[in-house]
Amino acid sequence: MSRSCAGSDVVASDRGRLDTETVAALNNVIITAASRSLAIVGLAKNAGKTTVVNALLSDSRRRFGLTSLGLDGERIDHLTGLAKPSITPPSGTLLATTRGSLDRSGCALEELEELPFATPLGRVIIGRADETGEAVEISGPTTLAELCATVERLQDLGAEQVLVDGALNRLGSASPRVSDATVLVTGGMVGDTLDNMLETTVAALDLLLLPSVEPVTRRLLAEHTVAGGRALLFSAAGDVHKLELTTAIGEGVTVAREIQRVGADTLYVDGALTQEFVEDLVRILPARIELRLIVRDATALIFPPSLLSRVLRRGIRLEALVPLRVLALAVNPFRLPHPYPPKLFFSAVADAVGDRLPLFDVVGGFAHSPAASANPQPALAEESG
């Protein structure tokens, strides 16, 4: 069954056409990494995430699948009053979206199957985009298990790479159970000032790029997590204490007191690490305690990136059993009431981030790789220089 499409409107963060050379450079990073499922995570509304999705979809070398964890944003931005950026999948793209989103966007779609996942916008539908190249609203399943199954089904139907539209407040799209890599998107709307935006971006990278535990620690945890313990304490003497908790949420005070009682230097939490839990640890534990706090992966951290610096200053080191692969940072100077000058903005982000990962402005035409100079150059000049 097919549907006819409606066109898209002027959008809040539409800065112009994509820069071909920069888009190619970004896509080369993704292809080199051999990613089959990629989360595109925005740090705020109007950060430019949808522009990056469209930049990736423009690469004709891959057959794409596309879905989302829930509905990402409203059609009309409540702040700007302008239409939100639209996704324009090329012909042949496999889409997993809800019946309600299909009805609202009116995108032409050859429906292939209906998944048994109910959402507030109806069942999740998988279909194939036609050659009209019109806009589509993407919304998907609401749980990680359903999202994982949706990604796998898109791959089964022929998607060589599945793009998962996400946001920092729904970081589950970047979970290693769903996506094997991530592209982070930041922009002028991420902070009230340039300094605030840079601070938030760097903190978000610190959060996503948690260091991995050493192999010996991974083996030790594997021995003790089979029984399903939600929290494990390890003392310097090698003793292991399993805390009988059904969940760690709301148990920060209890866990902090147990850490002090047994003299633990390592804490493993299986599940979400919430802001309340972390603030309780920081409040109750003595300063400079030198505690190692291990989580499954960075998507388990359910707290603002700014809290991470407080944790680190207290001597609490965060590590992950499974580190995330963040392949690139995309940059967008759009902000209200006036955008930042593109080159100045890109240079500021490059200086703040350093050589941690490649940076791209897919509209402005700037690219910076860890092996290159910190001065942004047009992508063509950088690649040829």
Q: Which residues of the chain does CATH 3.40.140.80 include?
A: 215-320
What pLDDT is attached to residue 80? 58
Whole-number pLDDT of residue 220: 81
- Are 47 and 85 in contact by the 8 Å Cβ rule? The answer is no
Region 225-249: mean pLDDT is 79
Across 27-41, 67-81, 128-142, 275-289, least confident range? 67-81
Q: What percent of the chain has pLDDT over 90?
A: 57
Per residue in 144-162, pLDDT (tens digit) is 999 999 999 999 999 999 9
Looking at the DSSP bridge assignments, the partners of residue 366 are 361, 378
Per cent of the chain over pLDDT 70 is 86
Name the nearest CA neighbour of 363 among 348, 343, 336.
343
Q: Find the helix or strand (DSSP H, E) in which 274 lies.
A: strand 273-274
Dump the DSSP string for 323-373.
Answer: ---EEEEEEE---SSSPPPHHHHHHHHHHHHTTSS-EEETTTTEEE-TTS-
**CATH 3.40.50 in the chain, residue ranges:** 20-209+324-384
pLDDT band, very low/low/confident/very high, at 229 (cuts 50, 70, 90):
low
What pLDDT score was predicted for residue 7?
A: 37
pTM here is: 0.87
CA–CA dist 369, 292 (Å, integer): 32
Question: Average pLDDT, stretch 177-194?
Answer: 95
The mean pLDDT value for 193-217 works out to: 93
pLDDT tops 50 at residue 209:
yes
Does position 380 have pLDDT exceeding 80, yes or no? no
Class (C level, CATH) for 20-209+324-384: alpha beta
CATH number, domain 215-320, options 3.30.930.10, 3.40.140.80, 3.40.50.150, 3.40.50.11540: 3.40.140.80
Q: Between β-strands 64-68 and 161-167, what pairing exists: parallel, antiparallel or unpaired?
A: parallel
List alpha helices for the chain, DSSP H.
20-32, 49-57, 99-105, 144-156, 194-208, 215-225, 252-262, 275-284, 305-313, 342-353, 379-384
Question: Amino acid identity, residue 22?
Answer: T
pLDDT for the residue numbered 154: 98
Which H or E element spans position 241? strand 240-243
Confidence of residue 15 (pLDDT cuts 50, 70, 90): low
pLDDT for 83 beyond 70: no
Q: Looking at 63-67, 98-102, 165-169, 211-215, which range is the least confident one?
A: 165-169
CA distance 148 to 146: 5
Q: Rounded mean pLDDT of the chain?
A: 86
pLDDT at position 284 is 94
Rounded distance, CA 318 to CA 291, Å? 9
3-state secondary structure of 280: helix
Mean pLDDT, residues 190-203 taken together? 95
Q: Predicted confidence band at 85 (pLDDT cuts at 50, 70, 90)?
A: low
Please tell me the predicted confidence (pLDDT) of residue 385.
34
- The pLDDT score that the predictor gives to residue 70 is 73
- Cβ proximity of 316 and 291 under 8 Å: yes
Q: What's the whole-number mean pLDDT along residues 348-371?
A: 95
Higher pLDDT, 69 or 125: 125
Higher pLDDT, 170 or 183: 183
* DSSP string for residues in 155-207: HHTT-SEEEEEEETTBGGGG-TTT-SEEEEEEEGGGSSSHHHHHHHHHHHHHH
Residue 4 pLDDT grade (very low, low, confident, very high; cuts 50, 70, 90): very low
Position 11 scores a pLDDT of 47
